[in-house]
Each structure stands twice: as structure tokens, then as C-alpha cells.
């Protein structure tokens, strides 16, 4: 008889190890290949066990991890069609037209046969991209379609994102009260989204020509209580500070606006091209408002054009201003080049429309 304290025979030892390996493999295989992509690009793989407006819970070999939606850039589902994944990527890159093209490649039968979470993802992307691409002509219909999705999917992890897209559409359509209401839904979310809600409502007030009122909302955004290590909230507060800087410039306090924009630049992560592009654009506006600082403003907008030119909205603003600034220092050829670049590269932006060309709506 073999004692339980004896070494087992070699064959039995191998069989034991094989059995353990099979159990481990089965446990790992039982986990799906879902992915959560964080804002910083890091990915968590495993099996999604729950989705809600506030968080995504994903199980991996280390257990279940709960990730706030404020930290999530993208949720990728195991087995989702390639065109669905491509559409989501294009939407996140700011190309709703391209995303719509990818969604059109999907057959209705393919979506009908998919699991519920993939069908829901398709429905969201279809409504969201239509809203992002909508013009004044088809905007009301697109807004209604997205509102129907949100009302019918109150537990979706896209709920706050959808309300923000809806608010953006209403703002473009000039329906400012509806935009403010849509942005207000973000107040129900995590701290970073509460910051985003106040900042978005402030931008609506700026569109309405009420910078003094917008200052209060931007200050409210910056004042939301958040954890110092909450990177998502810190990013949102940084953008709110830039909005505040612009409002100061528009209410006769350009010097304070310049100081606020420079502070944002000093504290920004050197790799955060999005925030830095917006910061230099805001600094340029404040410098122009100050009077006598056109050369400083020229440098700020050139920084956007030459260094942070992958951030489309900031570069479009920079090109518009460069056209005026080059003219002011008697450089008409460079002014013409800036305007041509704006009309050619960003024809659908408000800056191209302001210039008197393009297709902005």
C-alpha cells in the first residue's frame, strides 16, 4: 500500500500533472475573449459578466474586475463581426461616415442571428453614427432614433455616451435647451462624467453667446469632487479649464485667460496631444483678445498646425486664425495657404463655414 506521504509512481505523477493542466485549460477556455480597452490604451481580456451605465465587469484568471465607464474607450465582444468592430473604431476616430459604410456591409440575417449584446451594439452604433453624421436636414430624425435607443436600453454601457452624442447633435441643430437636457443626463454617472456634463452645458452657453454664464458652469466642472488619482476626471477638468480660459478672454479678462491656458499647458501630460492642441488653441484666442499679442498668438496657432496637427478641430481653428494673423503682418501668400488648407482638409467644420466656404452645417 502506498502511504499518502510517499512519492507517487512516475506514471501516476505525469497523469496528475496532465489532469491539472486539463482543468486549468478548461477554466481559461471557459472565459471568453471579450476585451475592454481603457482610455490609456491598456486592454483587459476575459469574459464580460455584466454591463451597466456605470461600469463594465469582466472576469479573467485573476477574478472579476470592475471598470468604470469613465475609464473605458471601447468594449470589444468575442465573436462580433469584423465590420461591426471596424465601424466602432471609425466612430471613435471621428469618422461617422466611414462607420456607417462598415455597418452597411452587415447582412440583416447576420445581426439577427447574433447574441443579444452584439445586436444591441449594432443598434447603438447605427443610431450614434447617424446622429454624428446628421445635417440640419436629417438631424431631427437622427435625434429621434438615438433617443429611442436610449429609452429602450436604460442598462446599456453606452447610455451616457449616447446622451452626450445626442446633446452634441441638438447643439449643432441650435436646439440648446434640448442639448442642455441631454448633457444633464451625464450628471448621474461617475465623477468624470459629472465634470463632462457641466463642461458640455458651459459650451452650450458659449454657443449662445453667454460666456459670463458659461464661466459658472466651467467652474462647477472644475469643482466636482474627484479622487486625485482619477485620471479620467483630471482630463475632463483640464478641458474645462481651457473652456474657462476662453470665457475669461471673451469677458474682458484676457490676461487671466492667458494665465489659465498656460497653466493647463504646464500641467498637461506631454503625451496628451488632444489636450495640448486644445490648450495652445485656447491660448491663441486669449492672446488675440488681449490686444498687441498677435505675434504670440501666431506662435500658439502655429504650434497647433505644425506639432499637434492630428487633432482636427483644434487645427481647423488654428488655420482659420493663421489666415487672419498672416494677413495682419503682411504675409498674404502664407495667409492664402492657411485658408486653402482649411477649406481642403476640413470643409465641413464651422471654421470653414466662417471663412465663407466648405460644407459646414
Give the model confidence (pLDDT) of 128-158 as tens digits. Answer: 999 999 999 999 999 999 999 999 999 999 9
Residue pair 343/358 in contact (Cβ under 8 Å)? The answer is: yes
Which residue shows C-alpha cell 471568453? 32
| 10 has pLDDT over 70 | no
Looking at the structure of the chain, the number of domains it has is 1
Q: Does 335 map to a domain? A: yes
Instruction: Report if residue 340 sits inside a domain.
Output: yes
Per the domain annotation, does 324 fall within a domain? yes
Evaluate whether residue 356 is within a structural domain. yes
In the predicted model, is pLDDT for residue 359 greater than 80? no
Q: In what order do the strands lie in the sheet with 55-60?
A: 63-68, 55-60, 43-51, 34-38, 72-76
Mean confidence (pLDDT) of the chain:
90
Q: Residue 358 region, left (φ>0) first, then alpha (ψ -120 to 50), else beta?
A: left
**Host domain of residue 332:** 311-361
Q: Which residue has the cell 494673423?
A: 325
Examine residue 346 and state whether it is found in any structural domain, yes or no: yes
Sign of CA dihedral 7, 10, 14, 19: negative
Res 24 pLDDT > 80? no
Q: How far apart are CA 214 and CA 247, in angstroms?
A: 7
Tell me how far apart the alpha carbons of residues 105 and 108 are, in angstroms, rounded to a whole number. Answer: 10
Write out pLDDT tens, residues 63-91.
999 999 999 999 999 999 999 999 999 99
* Predicted confidence (pLDDT) at residue 27 exceeds the cutoff of 50: no
Residue recorded with cell 458659461: 214
- Is residue 321 assigned to a domain? yes
Considering the entire predicted model, what is its pTM?
0.81
Residue 38 pairs in a beta bridge with: 72
Contact 142, 168 (CB under 8 A): no
Res. 4: pLDDT tops 70: no
Q: Rounded mean pLDDT of 189-200?
A: 94
Q: Give the model's confidence band at 233: pLDDT under 50 very low, under 70 low, under 90 confident, else very high.
A: confident
| 22 has a pLDDT exceeding 50 | no
Q: Is residue 158 part of a domain?
A: no
Does the pLDDT at position 29 exceed 80? no
For residue 330, is it within any domain?
Answer: yes
List the beta strands (DSSP E) in the chain.
34-38, 43-51, 55-60, 63-68, 72-76
Amino acid at each position: 500500500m502506498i502511504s499518502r506521504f510517499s512519492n507517487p509512481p512516475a506514471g501516476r505523477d505525469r497523469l496528475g500533472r496532465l489532469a491539472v493542466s486539463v482543468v486549468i485549460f478548461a477554466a481559461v477556455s471557459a472565459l471568453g475573449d471579450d476585451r475592454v480597452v481603457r482610455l490609456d490604451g491598456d486592454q483587459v481580456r476575459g469574459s464580460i459578466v455584466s454591463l451597466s451605465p456605470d461600469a463594465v465587469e469582466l472576469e479573467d484568471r485573476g477574478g472579476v474586475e470592475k471598470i468604470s465607464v469613465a475609464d473605458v474607450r471601447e468594449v470589444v465582444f468575442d465573436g462580433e463581426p469584423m465590420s461591426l468592430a471596424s465601424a466602432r473604431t471609425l466612430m471613435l476616430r471621428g469618422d461617422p461616415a466611414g462607420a456607417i459604410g462598415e455597418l452597411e456591409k452587415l447582412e440583416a440575417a447576420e445581426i439577427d442571428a447574433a447574441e443579444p449584446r452584439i445586436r444591441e451594439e449594432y443598434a447603438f452604433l447605427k443610431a450614434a453614427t447617424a446622429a454624428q453624421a446628421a445635417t440640419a436636414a436629417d438631424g431631427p430624425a437622427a435625434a429621434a432614433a438615438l433617443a429611442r435607443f436610449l429609452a429602450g436600453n436604460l442598462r446599456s454601457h453606452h447610455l451616457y455616451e449616447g446622451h452626450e452624442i445626442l446633446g452634441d447633435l441638438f447643439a449643432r441643430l441650435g436646439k440648446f435647451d434640448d442639448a442642455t437636457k441631454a448633457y444633464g443626463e451625464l450628471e448621474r454617472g461617475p465623477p468624470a462624467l459629472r465634470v463632462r456634463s457641466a463642461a458640455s452645458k458651459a459650451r452650450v452657453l458659449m454657443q449662445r453667446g453667454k460666456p459670463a454664464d458659461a464661466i459658472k458652469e466651467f467652474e462647477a466642472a472644475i469643482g466636482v469632487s474627484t479622487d486625485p488619482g482619477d485620471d479620467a476626471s483630471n482630463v475632463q477638468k483640464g478641458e474645462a479649464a481651457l473652456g474657462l480660459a476662453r470665457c475669461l478672454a471673451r469677458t474682458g479678462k484676457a490676461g487671466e485667460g492667458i494665465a489659465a491656458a498656460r497653466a493647463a499647458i504646464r500641467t498637461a501630460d506631454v503625451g496628451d496631444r488632444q489636450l495640448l492642441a486644445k490648450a495652445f488653441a485656447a491660448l491663441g484666442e486669449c492672446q488675440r483678445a488681449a490686444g498687441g499679442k498677435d505675434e504670440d498668438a501666431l506662435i500658439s496657432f502655429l504650434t497647433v498646425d505644425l506639432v499637434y496637427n492630428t487633432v482636427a478641430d483644434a487645427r481647423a481653428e488654428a488655420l482659420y486664425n493663421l489666415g487672419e494673423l498672416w494677413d495682419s503682418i503682411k504675409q498674404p501668400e502664407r495667409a492664402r495657404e492657411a485658408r486653402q488648407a482649411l477649406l481642403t482638409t476640413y470643409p465641413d467644420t464651422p471654421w470653414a463655414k466662417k471663412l465663407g466656404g466648405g460644407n459646414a452645417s
